[in-house]
Amino acid sequence: MTNFLAELLGTALLILLGDGVVAGVVLRGTKNENSGWIVITIGWALAVTFAVYAVGKVSGAHLNPAVSVALAATGQFDWSEVPVYVAGQVAGAFLGAVLVWLHYLPHWRQTPDQGAKLAVFCTAPAIRHTPGNFISEFIGAFVLLFGLSALGVNEFAQGLKPLAVGALVLAIGHSLGGTTGYAINPARDFGPRLAHALLPIAGKGGSDWGYAWVPVVAPLLGGICGAMAYRGLF
């Protein structure tokens, strides 16, 4: 398996399970409707964990352009590989979002709230305040890359590191995710947002492209700063 295919499949799995748990919570008529934020954050953490297990031995399971770019910016990854990884991540995120749409096909028409439908695919701020939203996404990605860097220098029993990565994502979701939905991953937001724009989702409304740059630019910058901060301090 190539690195491109591994990143595509891993990110598709991440989005299928991550956006899938959001769909289960916010769409009408599901078994877990209205089960809340805790279910969403746990679902995303488990999605990350399993996706890392699935493709980690092939590509290192970046699954996130902010990770690939931050590792390249700190000399831990070859810049020439970054476009391949990012292309796989965005394509995989799009594919995963399409699968979520298909899986919940009868529920879109039953859900009148256009914002809830969009929330299945991508993030949106709880309070729209662009500087504050940017800072939130920057801090979330900073903590993600700082934390991943810390995990990288610790030894784990074989097979346990993905669990630690999932725990890190869970902590970010619980503590920092309530402001913007903690995209902390440009592909995770852009690929599904594009799917939302292109798919024939019943009563979907707009895709909020005016906000879309925030969960792309802020995680990239925050991730670079987080990885550099860890290397500078330790």
pLDDT reading at 100 higher than 90:
yes
Q: pLDDT tens across 15-63, in order?
A: 999 999 999 999 999 999 999 999 999 999 999 999 999 999 999 999 9
Q: What is the CATH number of domain 3-233?
A: 1.20.1080.10
Q: pLDDT tens across 130-189, in order?
A: 999 999 999 999 999 999 999 999 999 989 999 999 999 999 999 999 999 999 999 999
Residue in 192, 33, 36 with CA at minimum distance from that of residue 110:
33
Whose tokens are 């008529």? That residue is 29
Domain residue spans of the chain: 3-233
Contact 155, 195 (CB under 8 A): no
pLDDT band at 1 (very low <50, low <70, confident <90, very high): confident
Contact 196, 190 (CB under 8 A): no
Contact 203, 108 (CB under 8 A): yes
**Token pair in block for residue 38:** 């805790």
Per DSSP (E only), the strands in 64-197 are none
Q: Count other Cβ atoms within 10 Å, centred on residue 112.
A: 9
pLDDT reading at 121 higher than 90:
yes
